[in-house]
């Protein structure tokens, strides 16, 4: 009898999981459309790790940039927004070239730059003050329309607790108390 229950449970899990995953994804897109939520997007694929020693803000030739695969990924993410009923959004980006290019390739609207979304990977002492600046900024934002923040793994992890892949969306909610809450994640590849 126990063996039968185990098999039935395994079959149910194998057969039902895709349905639950699809429902979860639909719920996440619905949440983003419904207001009070925002998406954190880790920039698309940019080969390498960190930034070169000669990194200069505003000079893409000194930075790690999107690969062709990364550009295709960013374009596909924008198409995925549109396929899920989000044809326009407020798009705010880190000032790093790979984030700005990702944001523009989404084709959801004009891209605003926000220094609070810039990477602190090589300057960890900036994490807390920068995250507080970002939390304060988010507290003042009107979340009636979809908001997409394009940033870096370290920033997204510090704000959400999620370690996202390149191009992964992290959906957050601003509670009535002002607290930021993780709603879920969407893989985009």
Q: What is the pTM of this model?
A: 0.86
Of the chain, the percentage scoring pLDDT greater than 70 comes to 88
For residue 24, which of 169, 140, 174, 165 has the smallest C-alpha distance? 169
Tens of pLDDT, residue by residue over 49-92, are 888 888 999 999 999 999 999 999 999 999 999 999 999 999 99
- Beta strand pairing call for 37-42 and 169-174: antiparallel
The whole-angstrom separation of Cα 143 and Cα 53 is: 37
Name the CATH topology of 2-186. Answer: Rossmann fold (3.40.50)
The residues, any chain, with a CB within 8 Å of residue 176's CB and separated by 6 or more, are none
> What angle (nearest 5°) sits at the alpha carbon of residue 95, between those of residues 164 and 57?
120
Question: CA torsion, points 99, 105, 110, 114, in degrees to nearest 10?
Answer: -10
Question: CA torsion, points 71, 155, 81, 100, in degrees to nearest 10?
Answer: -40
What mean pLDDT do residues 125-136 have?
93
Query: What are the residue ranges spanned by the domains of the chain?
Result: 2-186
Positions of E strands within 55-168: 90-93, 111-113, 147-151
Other CB atoms closer than 10 Å to residue 186's CB: what's the count?
20
Tens of pLDDT, residue by residue over 11-29, are 333 343 333 344 499 999 9
Q: How far is residue 110 from each of residues 96, 116, 137, measured CA to CA in Å?
A: 16, 18, 19
The whole-angstrom separation of Cα 48 and Cα 119 is: 15
Tens of pLDDT, residue by residue over 162-174, are 999 999 999 999 9
């Amino acid at each position: 009898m126990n063996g039968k229950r185990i098999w039935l449970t395994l079959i149910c899990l194998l057969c039902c999981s895709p349905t639950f995953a699809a429902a979860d994804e639909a719920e996440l897109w619905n949440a983003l459309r419904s207001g009070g939520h925002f998406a954190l997007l880790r920039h698309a694929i940019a080969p390498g790790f960190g930034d070169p020693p000669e990194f200069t803000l505003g000079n893409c030739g000194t930075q790690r940039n999107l690969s062709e695969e990364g550009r295709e990924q960013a374009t596909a993410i924008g198409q995925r927004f549109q396929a899920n009923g989000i044809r326009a959004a407020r798009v705010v980006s880190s000032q790093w070239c790979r984030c700005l290019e990702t944001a523009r390739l989404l084709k959801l609207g004009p891209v605003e730059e926000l220094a609070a979304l810039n990477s602190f990977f090589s300057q960890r002492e900036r994490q807390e003050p920068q995250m507080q600046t970002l939390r304060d900024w988010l507290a003042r934002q009107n979340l009636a329309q979809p908001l997409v923040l394009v940033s870096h793994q370290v920033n997204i992890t510090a704000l959400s607790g999620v370690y996202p892949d390149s191009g992964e969306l992290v959906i957050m909610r601003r509670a009535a108390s002002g607290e930021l809450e993780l709603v879920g994640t969407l893989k985009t590849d």
